[in-house]
Structure 1
């Protein structure tokens, strides 16, 4: 398995690791990694591996078998050998923008409290699809409400519950199309706000900022009709 260091510290930009395998397609598997693997609408991280005076650009990271994370090079190149110790470096600006957008989308699901049917995260914008019969009457009011939550500088933290606890409390799952992965014995929850200031709690395996003020100002983009009772809401980093 690959230890996902990003789960413990989303701000870790550089770390060591040891190569444990290669894939037939030319991917690299490490014993531990700071690279987030594509999933939950969030793209895999990019960056670099350094070893023995050489550098390998990494285009993305994807999930492999079991708990493996595969680092995919930007182009065919010589790979660090199995057993080699490497230094991992993230394209931090890109990752941090993903963190800002991802946390903003959690807050979007607060100001639009409707079932979520899909979503996607980018480095400049993100979107959620909602089960929504009619478009919002006042898009500007929603934008103002979202930015008011951001400006409250709420703490973003995580916690873990068992699979059984999740099944006993299904209302915390906002996505209709994708259920959180179970079978590992526990599920990660992301909480925004604490105590009386808590505004959101939902299962999520992605990376997030530590406080909502770090997101910065958000602008609403298009609200598009996607099917009979679906609306796609896009937000952009200002």
Structure 2
């Protein structure tokens, strides 16, 4: 899969629709063997669609993929193919693979299509993702009480969301972390997407992977809440912390020197 897809959401966080050109369309069983595990469990009738550009977020960084549809543009009245997107992943080549099922399909190469992302799903995933960042910021704001910890990994899927830290966070801090996180929400602070050099990222972000290397002139994408700190992040985000909504810290669990804070969005 040599094609490369322009991920519109990286520059335009509000992109939920786009016009695109089909670069490839084929049954899922024809996908390269090393890429098939990306779509384990997909229906047998699934197809893979690759386009030159996309508004669909590709699962990664702990955030699930967008859902929605692609269909032939109105300038192609002789074709009515509709493709329902069930999964989106990014291949190592930079191609973004949309997997789903067709009604009156499939597409052919060079077809012009309209992409429509399910905005409600995008909004929910963005809120959950930002809630995870806010909990991280809350933990760092409480470092004098909690003690020093280091962000390690996170998952922002509905019903199974958590942020994990290297270090011990006692369960007694659960209420304080939730209160601090919701104070950040109540302050309705801006959530800003930034592009920084490696040096800027190291100075402003709470954690930087040791293996991160940027080529000359390349910048890393980060999400910043001014005054509280930033995280390297390729996900989608709300405009302000107030847009995230109230956060519930469900539990704090500890194992082998790490602490996991499980959370959910309050109704």
Common fold by TM > 0.5: yes
Q: 1:128 to 1:181 in 2, by over 3 A?
A: farther
Q: Distance in 2 between matches of 1:172 and 1:201?
A: 4
Q: Indicate which of 71, 76, 81 corresponds to 1:54.
A: 81
- How many pairs align? 230
Aligned to 1:159: 194
SS of match in other structure, 1:57: strand
Q: Indicate which of 36, 39, 52 corresponds to 2:60.
A: 39
**TM-fit CA distance, 1:132:** 2.6
SS of match in other structure, 1:119: strand
- Verify: 1:174 aligned to 2:207, yes or no: yes
Q: Indicate which of 208, 218, 232 corresponds to 1:203.
A: 232
- Verify: 1:99 aligned to 2:129, yes or no: no
Q: CA RMSD in A?
A: 2.4
Aligned to 1:146: 181
SS of match in other structure, 2:172: coil
Deviating runs (4+, > 3 A) in structure 1? 74-78, 163-166, 178-184
Aligned to 1:66: 93
Question: Which structure 1 segments of 5+ residues have no match?
Answer: none
Q: 1:74 to 1:22 in 2, by over 3 A?
A: closer
- Verify: 1:88 aligned to 2:88, yes or no: no
Matches within 5 A, 1:115-154: 115-124=150-159, 126-154=161-189
Q: Is the 8 A contact 1:181 1:187 kept in 2?
A: no
Q: Distance in 2 between matches of 1:84 and 1:123?
A: 34
- Report which of the two structures shows the higher radius of gyration computed on alpha carbons: 2
> Which moved further from structure 2: 113-122 or 155-164?
155-164
Q: 1:181 to 1:73 in 2, by over 3 A?
A: farther
**TM-fit CA distance, 1:174:** 2.1
Q: Distance in 2 between matches of 1:42 and 1:164?
A: 26
Q: 1:179 to 1:92 in 2, by over 3 A?
A: farther
**TM-fit CA distance, 1:144:** 0.9
Q: Is the 8 A contact 1:173 1:179 kept in 2?
A: no
**TM-fit CA distance, 1:72:** 1.0
Q: Distance in 2 between matches of 1:155 and 1:228?
A: 36
Q: 1:189 to 1:208 in 2, by over 3 A?
A: same
**TM-fit CA distance, 1:175:** 6.1
Q: Distance in 1 between matches of 2:7 and 2:204?
A: 27
Q: Is the 8 A contact 1:13 1:90 kept in 2?
A: yes
